[in-house]
Amino acid sequence: MQTSSRHGVKAHAARFTAQAVQEAARDAFLKLAPRTAMKNPVMFVVLVGTVLTAALAVQAMSKGQPWLYQMVVALILFVTVLFANFAEAVAEARGRGQAASLRAARSQLVGRRWRNGQFEYLPAAELRPDDIVVVGANEQIPADGEIVEGVASINEAAVTGESAPVLREAGTDRSGVIAGTTVLSNEIKVRVTAQPGASFLDRMIALVEGAQRQKTPNELALTVLLAALTLVFLIVVVTLPALGQFANVHIDVVVLVALLVCLIPTTIGGLLPAIGIAGMNRALEANVIAKSGKAVELAGDIDTLLLDKTGTITLGDRRATEFIAVGGTRVPDLREAALLASLADPTPEGKSIVALAQAQGATAGDITGSVFVPFSAETRMSGVDLDTRPIRKGAKSAIVAWARSVQAQVPSDLDAAVDRIARGGATPLVVADAGRVLGVIALADIVKHGVRERFARLRAMGVRTVMITGDNPLTAAAIAAEAGVDDFLAEARPEDKLARIRAEQAEGRLVAMVGDGTNDAPALAQADIGLAMNSGTQAAKEAGNMVDLDSDPTKLLSVVEIGKQLLITRGALTTFSLANDVSKYFAIIPAIFVAAIPGMAALDVMRLSGPVNAVLAALIFNALIIPALIPLALRGVSFRPGSAEALLRRNLLVFGVGGVALPFVAIKLIDLLLAALFGAR
């Protein structure tokens, strides 16, 4: 077996590693290939401008005319394209670095396949779906799968970077295991769920590595808008010489190209891909693998978040704490019935009832030959059909309905017992046999630490939280109040979850849902954002559009923040880019016309040293602003939770006004420098 000293994604938290920068520098040149370059219309225009001005320089050179100016312009334009390519490449390289650490945890594993009562050692690459592998203590899990037998504590650090062990158990919503993680205790049987190299995580890693990156609808819309703007400016610039003729101004082609490049939105055009990729990278840093960039973006616009109660808001390890008999039943009789009804119940609830009953001295007779009735979220009860009598335990409404159907008595003190348990936030399970309702079992659960604060933060960001539970309304209300959710839905069956999501969506809201069970799969698929727990069942993971490697349901909060940050960053840098272009206009237009049309002097607010320096200064600024903004594009604009309007106002002020002011100052400074070095020209 492999020993593991790997660290998972967290340890590779995004930095500019030397290797990433080197790779990106190389890729910046590779991206010059016309087919790649054409995907970014704004920068493609700059590339065409580069070729054109370089050709003019060569032509002038061959004619023995001055060519240096054309060549310098061509060079600055070329560097501008390289900077834009570099921005995208550096974002991709960082994503690849993160994904590589995930991949490393998954290669070269060996599995023990269980077949016809024998083991067989096999490289993980030869394991197929539905193979059963046995994994013991200190062994690594060879393939993604679901535990079909046993319970184990597992160290998932190789994948999640989190070294606290987690419990995974057959027959629960925490049965999922991941290749590369290590079993710490106990032996489990795992059913392989994926083809080698095509597991769920493998496919997700491929997405992160960018090979299959697709533009999100928002990104596409912005690209089209920027291309349209570019076209408009192209028409403006192409018609300028004709206008110039009226005023007897001859406009040099090089100056026209420079003007065009300054006017078109090169800053956002260059940074747009990097912003999108960085959003997915940030999600990965948070140990969330998104199936698409679109999912991350959508998360930024979520209105409603639906959460499960048990296991999501609460720790989910429901334990029996008390037996309360009703209707004159003796407690030992209730205990014995509860024990019988739970002996074959593999759920944590069932096991804890067995444990409590036995600890209190209950013993069960022989139940061989009796028929076990498994729990389902649909019926909300479970039990056993003994030869002599049926016994059921479950939610009060379900058991009362069942009791009536078999003409069993429902004692009048049942409600009081159930309410007392529910008010305390515990789950009451009612026990009944064919004769009568015997009593109630209290199942205690604990609200997770810190969820209240997180819900408050979500509220501040305008996200409403709704708890959905199969539990009764009183327990639900108690837990809802303790956890601080905005609303709750009790006694919900799986189809009620789905209906609630559809209803919210019908009112025009974007809905996020967190889940782990096979029951949750339809809801995860229907929700706009479905965040599945990595510990969950395969069905849940396939249905969602994101998976949290840490299996932390409150992680959605981070995803919402990452999505919001992505949208805000894109908006802010678009504003900045367009504002920038206004200033560059004021730098170049006077340079073209002032000499011939003295009336244009009013436009010459920058008072630059001369037309040549003005053009060069504007172009140099235009090129340098791209790498200067790469860190911001990758890190994202910082934001505090607040209203959308307040954010918009602040961003317009900072990035709009700043976007006009900064180039004025910077271009003026570059011009002063050029004048000092080469004289006013």
Ligand X SMILES: Nc1ncnc2c1ncn2[C@@H]1O[C@H](COP(=O)(O)OP(=O)(O)OP(=O)(O)O)[C@@H](O)[C@H]1O
Binding footprint of ligand X, residue count (CB under 6 A):
20
Q: Does 309 bind ligand X (CB under 6 A)?
A: yes
Q: Could you say which of 209, 345, 516, 561 contacts ligand X (CB under 6 A)?
A: 345
Among Mg ion, ligand X, K ion, none, partner that 266 touches (CB below 5 to 8 angstroms by kind): K ion
Q: Could you say which of 266, 281, 352, 583 contacts K ion (CB under 5 A)?
A: 266
Annotated binding residue 643:
no
Q: Does 429 bind ligand X (CB under 6 A)?
A: yes
373 in helix, strand or coil? strand
Q: Does 472 bind Mg ion (CB under 5 A)?
A: no
Q: Does 310 bind Mg ion (CB under 5 A)?
A: yes
Question: Minimal CB distance to ligand X: which residue?
Answer: 470
Residue 347 Cβ vs Mg ion, minimum distance, rounded to whole Å: 9
Pairing of strands 511-515, 529-533: parallel
Q: In whole angstroms, how far apart are CA 292 and each of 277, 281, 309, 558, 581? A: 10, 11, 28, 17, 32
Site stretch for ligand X (CB under 6 A), options 56-64, 164-172, 308-316, 569-577:
308-316
Q: Does 534 bind ligand X (CB under 6 A)?
A: no
Measure the CA–CA gap between 490 and 468, rounded to whole angstroms: 6
Q: Does 350 bind ligand X (CB under 6 A)?
A: yes
Length of the chain: 681
* Torsion angle (degrees, nearest 10) of CA 625, 631, 632, 634: 120
Residue 348 Cβ vs ligand X, minimum distance, rounded to whole Å: 8
Site stretch for Mg ion (CB under 5 A), options 276-284, 309-317, 503-511, 660-668:
309-317
Annotated binding residue 182:
no
Q: Does 80 bind K ion (CB under 5 A)?
A: no
- For residue 213 the two structure tokens come to 């990156």
Binding footprint of Mg ion, residue count (CB under 5 A):
1
Hey, what amino acid is at 360?
Q
Task: Give the 3-state secondary structure of 443-477.
Answer: EECCECCCHHHHHHHHHHCCCEEEEECCCCHHHHH
Measure the CA–CA gap between 262 and 42, rounded to whole angstroms: 11
Annotated binding residue 349:
yes
Q: Could you say which of 381, 458, 567, 637 contacts ligand X (CB under 6 A)?
A: 381
Site stretch for K ion (CB under 5 A), options 91-99, 225-233, 620-628, 663-671:
620-628
Annotated binding residue 467:
no
Q: Could you say which of 36, 186, 292, 347 contacts ligand X (CB under 6 A)?
A: 347
- For residue 623 the two structure tokens come to 């090129």
Q: Does 520 bind ligand X (CB under 6 A)?
A: no
**Per CB under 5 A, which of residues 554..613 are in contact with K ion?**
581
Residue 167 region by backbone torsions, left for phi larger than 0, else alpha for psi between -120 and 50, else beta? beta
Residue 35 Cβ vs K ion, minimum distance, rounded to whole Å: 24
- Binding to Mg ion by CB under 5 A, coded x per residue (else -) over 371-390, reads --------------------
Annotated binding residue 375:
yes
Contact (CB, 8 A) for 638 and 568: no
Site stretch for Mg ion (CB under 5 A), options 310-318, 434-442, 491-499, 602-610:
310-318
Q: Kindly report the number of other CB atoms within 10 A of residue 474's CB atom.
A: 20
Contact (CB, 8 A) for 330 and 192: no
Contact (CB, 8 A) for 322 and 422: no
Q: Does 537 bind Mg ion (CB under 5 A)?
A: no
Pick the closer one to ligand X by CB: 275 or 313.
Answer: 313
How is 547-608 classified by DSSP, letter by letter? EETT--GGGHHHHHHHHHHHHHHHHHHHHHHHHHHHHHHHHHHHHHHTTT-GGGGGG--S--
Instruction: Give bridge partners of residue 307 from the DSSP assignment.
Output: 467
Pairing of strands 529-533, 304-308: unpaired
Residue 576 Cβ vs K ion, minimum distance, rounded to whole Å: 11
Residue 478 Cβ vs ligand X, minimum distance, rounded to whole Å: 13
- For residue 442 the two structure tokens come to 């209290």
Residue 413 Cβ vs ligand X, minimum distance, rounded to whole Å: 19
Hey, what amino acid is at 41?
P
Q: Which residues are catalytic?
A: 308
Q: Kindly report the number of other CB atoms within 10 A of residue 93's CB atom.
A: 24
Q: Does 282 bind ligand X (CB under 6 A)?
A: no
CB within 8 Å of 347: residues ≥ 6 apart: 171, 172, 375, 382
Q: Does 202 bind ligand X (CB under 6 A)?
A: no
Pick the closer one to Mg ion by CB: 24 or 521.
Answer: 521
Q: Does 380 bind ligand X (CB under 6 A)?
A: yes
Pairing of strands 464-468, 304-308: parallel
Q: Does 393 bind ligand X (CB under 6 A)?
A: yes
- Residues near Mg ion (CB under 5 A) are 310
- Residues near ligand X (CB under 6 A) are 308-310, 345, 347, 349-350, 375, 377, 380-382, 393-395, 427, 429, 469-471
Q: Which residues are annotated as a binding site for Mg(2+)?
A: 516, 520
- Residues near K ion (CB under 5 A) are 266, 581, 622
Q: Which residues are annotated as a binding site for ATP?
A: 345, 349, 375-382, 393
